[in-house]
Amino acid sequence: MPFKHFLSVTDLTPSEVREVLVLANDIKRAPDRFRTALQGQTLAMIFQKKSTRTRVSFEVGMVQLGGHALFLSSADIQIGRGETIADTARVLSRYCNGIMARVYGHDTVEELARWASVPVINGLSDLEHPCQTLCDAQTLVEKWNPAGTFDPDVLRGKTLVYVGDGNNMAHSLLDTGAALGMHVTVVAPHGYWPDPAIVDRCQRLAAQTGARMAVTDDRERGVMGADCIYTDVWASMGQEEEHAKRLRDFDGYIVDAAMMARANPGCVFMHCLPAHRGEEVSADVCDGPQSIIFDQAENRLHVQKALMCKLMGGR
Ligand code: CP
Ligand code: NVA
């Protein structure tokens, strides 16, 4: 893969997305083969927001590839005192082989990428969460392929319905579905629909890959035909003060057993986590037999190892 940043799923071509997923599966099946893939390399990890999965999976992933990761809370580095993103990107590029950043504004990862001379990976911005949805795709490929096989084409023609806020997760799921030929419907109340520019770009790509992208507020019909129902919190990081209003606005959009019953038989439930049981998902669905949330969480590790190998030139 040529030198590139990964700020969005759209930074990879559809065939590169497939390559990453296949490598992630290889790494998961035989991790020892990749123990020295990034030997001696260092990943800087800048966090403006909290994290459990992203921080731990990147850090453990680097160690398992023979490298090292540095946790840099933005409050504790000079960014917190006003040093520019441009200077930070240029300095970190002199020490490290890659930069992963979890930020508020998407323009922050774009600015890092503009100035860094090493790959920059978006570990979540307000606009997109592309590492998460690569692992989601890996998880669905595993789920829907016959045991022992791993063919990303199994996603073609399947339907993922995302119920909830048209946020970073909705955007990256649309991008991922469009790349891989999987239909994606976003079910959200008016006022919480995904960015129309992102829906447009996904529809253009989907026209080439055979996928259908849709947005609706109809939570009855919207989930019909779903092979996967996915949700996320109603108030994301940075929106905590809107929590009470959002609880009211999303009333009735909880993913519960009645909603799952309207989907296809065998429909799986996904959530990027952390989850608020009793808000966007009922506890019985979140912890029930259709839920694959911890397989998803595990796959953050494998898919990010694959991504780092591809972007940082691992053997
Ligand atoms: N899903 C996800 O990104 O989790 P964290 O916020 O814990 O990193
Ligand atoms: N939409 C959520 C995702 C967390 C992984 C947030 O941005 O807080």
Residue range 41-69, pLDDT digits in tens: 999 999 999 999 999 999 999 999 999 99
102 counts as catalytic: yes
- The per-residue DSSP string of 164-226 comes to S--SHHHHHHHHHHHHHT-EEEEE--TT-PPPHHHHHHHHHHHHHHT--EEEES-TTTTTTT-
Atom index in ligand 2 nearest the CA of residue 168 equals: 1
Give the type of residue at 102: R
202 counts as catalytic: no
Q: Determine the Cα–Cα distance for residues 162 and 313; give it in Å rounded to an integer.
A: 34
Q: Give the tens place of pLDDT for each residue, 157-207.
A: 999 999 999 999 999 999 999 999 999 999 999 999 999 999 999 999 999
Q: Are 133 and 200 in contact (CB under 8 A)?
A: no
Q: Report residue 92's pLDDT band, with 50, 70 and 90 as the boundaries.
A: very high
Q: Phi and psi at residue 302, in whole multiples of 5°? A: -70, -40
Q: What's the gap in Å between 272 CA and the centre of ligand 1?
A: 7
Q: What's the gap in Å between 297 CA and the centre of ligand 1?
A: 9
Query: Which domains are assigned to the chain?
Result: 9-128+300-312 (3.40.50.1370), 132-296 (3.40.50.1370)
Q: Which residue's CA is the nearest one to ligand 1's atom 3?
A: 54
| Per-residue pLDDT at 55 | 98
Our answer on whether the CB atom of 272 is closer than 6 Å to any ligand 1 atom is yes
132 counts as catalytic: yes
Question: pTM score, two decimals?
Answer: 0.98
CB-based contacts of 113, cutoff 8 Å, min separation 6: 5, 7, 89, 120
Cα of 272 vs its chain's centroid, Å: 8
Q: Which of 126, 136, 227, 232 is catalytic?
A: 232
Q: Which of 18, 55, 129, 246 is catalytic?
A: 129
Q: Give the tens place of pLDDT for each residue, 21-43.
A: 999 999 999 999 999 999 999 99
Q: Determine the Cα–Cα distance for residues 163 and 169; give it in Å rounded to an integer.
A: 11
Q: Determine the Cα–Cα distance for residues 277 and 281; give it in Å rounded to an integer.
A: 5
